[in-house]
Amino acid sequence: MSLYRARPQDGIAWITGASTGIGRQLALDLAAAGYTVAATARDEDRLATLSLDAAGSKGRIIPFPVDVTESAAMVATVDAVERELGPIVLAIFNAGTYYPVRGAEPNTERYVRTYQINVFGVVFGLVPVVERMKRRGRGQIAITGSVSGYGGLPMASAYGASKAALSNMAAALKFDLDLINVRIQIINPGFIETPLTEKNEFPMPALLPVDVASRRIVKGLSSGGFEINFPRRLSWALKVANMLPYWLYFPLMAKVTGWDRRRRS
Which residue range(s) make up the domain with 70? 8-261
| pLDDT per residue as tens digits for the range 152-181 | 998 899 999 999 999 999 999 999 999 999
- Taking the model in full, what pTM does it have? 0.93
Residue 189 falls within a domain, yes or no?
A: yes
CATH number at residue 47: 3.40.50.720
Average pLDDT over residues 182-202: 77
Residue 110 pLDDT greater than 90, yes or no: yes
Average pLDDT over residues 119-129: 98
Residue 78 falls within a domain, yes or no?
A: yes
Structural domain count, the chain: 1
Residue 62 falls within a domain, yes or no?
A: yes
Q: What is the DSSP string of the chain?
A: -PPP---GGG-EEEEES-SSHHHHHHHHHHHHTT-EEEEE-S-HHHHHHHHHHTTTSSSEEEE----TT-HHHHHHHHHHHHHHT--EEEEEE--------BTTB--HHHHHHHHIIIIIHHHHHHHHHHHHHHHHT-EEEEEE--GGGGS--TT-TTHHHHHHHHHHHHHHHHHHHHHTTEEEEEEEE--BSSTTGGG--S--TT-B-HHHHHHHHHHHHHH--SEEEE-HHHHHHHHHHTTS-HHHHHHHHHHHHTGGGSPP-
Residue 2 falls within a domain, yes or no?
A: no
Give the pLDDT confidence score for residue 204 in this predicted structure: 62
Residue 192 falls within a domain, yes or no?
A: yes
Mean pLDDT of all residues belonging to the chain: 93
Active site (catalytic) residues: 159
Higher pLDDT, 204 or 46: 46
Residue 239 falls within a domain, yes or no?
A: yes
Residue 213 falls within a domain, yes or no?
A: yes
Residue 202 falls within a domain, yes or no?
A: yes
